[in-house]
């Protein structure tokens, strides 16, 4: 998988085997504006039929490894999507979380400064306490769990760096990875209702759910424009998990009477969750011409992908 010599700028992706990484590689190969260097821990898990990109195994927590890969490819642009994102696991395994979400970002910054790369860093709505959502880019962060704390620390490192940088903050990303390795609320609700199960979904937590393809597109728009500063890249509709489940049931014509409303007090979770986040995305619309899909359009895209996967 070698990149041809041409005049296109090179773009390196971290976490290329993950959901966002897969969508980034696919979209960049379609657009043909960059030479794509996909990186991930271990072997390449991207579809074999995809062509026209290079793959390098890179452990972001290993500084020497990161420097070596950056030295080999000297990317002009980096999209850093790799992170530890399981919120409860971050709470119980804080050292691992710190290594992947903070120390790793320090490694990426050092390497990116050496190769003079523009960096798009993916961040999260969980840097906020959920008392005042939906949030604009100027809102004051106050994390209430360790995951959010590490993501905020990473943002601070980037702001203090000498890099040309953009931060893409996002919310509740859903989508289908090509190997179906990850579930999401749409797939879970569909499968559960098809099996005739009763579901309990909270109606007191609010998010602006983001289709993985839309997040990838937003990051690429930032990369193309070398957009500076913070951009909220998320869906545009403020929904509760209950709302999302109802929309999913309606789309697949499943029995929505089996979906019951509950509130957060019914669930015991290790890490605290912010109650109402969601983002105001006007800046991304105006400056990047970012146009996210509605949740219903997102479900439709997933439905098509499911049919192709079968």
Q: Quick check: 297 pLDDT over 90?
A: yes
Decide: residue 89, CB within 10 A, 0-12 exposed, 13-18 middle, 19+ buried.
Answer: middle
Give me the mean pLDDT over the 283-291 stretch.
98
Q: Quick check: 5 pLDDT over 70?
A: no
Structure tokens at 203: 């109606």
Q: What is the pLDDT of residue 276?
A: 98
Q: What is the pLDDT of residue 182?
A: 75
Q: Place 262 in a pLDDT band, splitting at 50, 70 and 90.
A: very high
CB 127 within 8 A of CB 171: no
Q: Place 3 in a pLDDT band, splitting at 50, 70 and 90.
A: low
Q: What is the pLDDT of residue 310?
A: 64
Q: What is the mean pLDDT of the chain?
A: 96
Q: Place 26 in a pLDDT band, splitting at 50, 70 and 90.
A: very high
pTM of the complete model: 0.97
Give me the mean pLDDT over the 232-251 stretch.
98
Q: C-alpha angle with apex 235: 230 to 238, nearest 5 degrees? A: 110
**Of the candidates 73, 60, 72, the residue with the CA atom closest to the CA atom of residue 16:** 60
Write down the domain spans for the chain: 10-175+210-235+280-293
Q: Quick check: 200 pLDDT over 70?
A: yes
Q: What is the pLDDT of residue 183?
A: 84
Q: What is the pLDDT of residue 209?
A: 98
> CA 290 → CA 36, 80, 239, 283, distances in Å?
22, 19, 20, 9
Q: Quick check: 169 pLDDT over 90?
A: yes
CATH topology for 10-175+210-235+280-293 is Rossmann fold (3.40.50)
Give me the mean pLDDT over the 199-203 stretch.
96
CB 114 within 8 A of CB 59: no
Q: What is the pLDDT of residue 179?
A: 82
Q: Quick check: 69 pLDDT over 70?
A: yes
Structure tokens at 87: 């919120």
Q: Where are the alpha helices (DSSP H) in the chain?
A: 19-31, 63-73, 87-92, 94-98, 104-114, 146-160, 185-194, 212-225, 241-251, 282-288, 295-309
Instruction: Give the span between the Cα atoms of 255 and 198, in whole angstroms.
Output: 10
> CA 227 → CA 116, 163, 281, distances in Å?
15, 12, 15
User: Rounded to the nearest 5°, which phi and psi values hold at 211?
Assistant: -65, 135
Q: What is the pLDDT of residue 267?
A: 87
């Amino acid at each position: 998988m070698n990149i041809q010599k041409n005049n296109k700028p090179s773009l390196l992706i971290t976490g290329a085997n993950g959901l966002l990484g897969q969508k980034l590689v696919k979209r960049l190969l379609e657009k043909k504006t960059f030479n794509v260097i996909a990186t991930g821990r271990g072997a390449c898990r991207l579809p074999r039929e995809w062509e026209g990109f290079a793959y390098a195994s890179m452990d972001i927590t290993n500084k020497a490894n990161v420097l070596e890969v950056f030295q080999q490819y000297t990317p002009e642009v980096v999209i850093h999507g790799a992170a530890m994102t399981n919120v409860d696991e971050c709470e119980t395994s804080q050292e691992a979380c710190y290594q992947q979400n903070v120390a790793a970002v320090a490694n990426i910054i050092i390497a990116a400064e050496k190769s003079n790369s523009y960096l798009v860093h993916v961040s999260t709505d969980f840097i906020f306490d959920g008392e005042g959502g939906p949030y604009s880019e100027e809102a004051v962060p106050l994390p209430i769990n360790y995951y959010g704390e590490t993501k905020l620390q990473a943002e601070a490192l980037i702001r203090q760096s000498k890099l040309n940088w953009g931060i893409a903050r996002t919310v509740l990303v859903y989508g289908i990875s090509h190997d179906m390795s990850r579930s999401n609320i749409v797939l879970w609700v569909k499968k559960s209702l098809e099996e005739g199960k009763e579901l309990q979904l909270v109606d007191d937590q609010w998010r602006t759910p983001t289709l993985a393809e839309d997040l990838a597109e937003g990051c690429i728009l930032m990369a193309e424009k070398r957009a500076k500063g913070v951009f909220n890249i998320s869906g545009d509709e403020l929904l509760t998990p209950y709302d999302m489940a109802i929309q999913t049931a309606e789309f697949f014509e499943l029995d929505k009477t089996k979906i019951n409303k509950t509130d957060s007090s019914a669930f015991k979770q290790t890490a605290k969750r912010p109650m109402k986040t969601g983002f105001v995305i006007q800046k991304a619309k105006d400056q990047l011409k970012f146009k996210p899909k509605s949740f219903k359009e997102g479900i439709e895209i997933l439905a098509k992908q499911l049919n192709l996967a079968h």
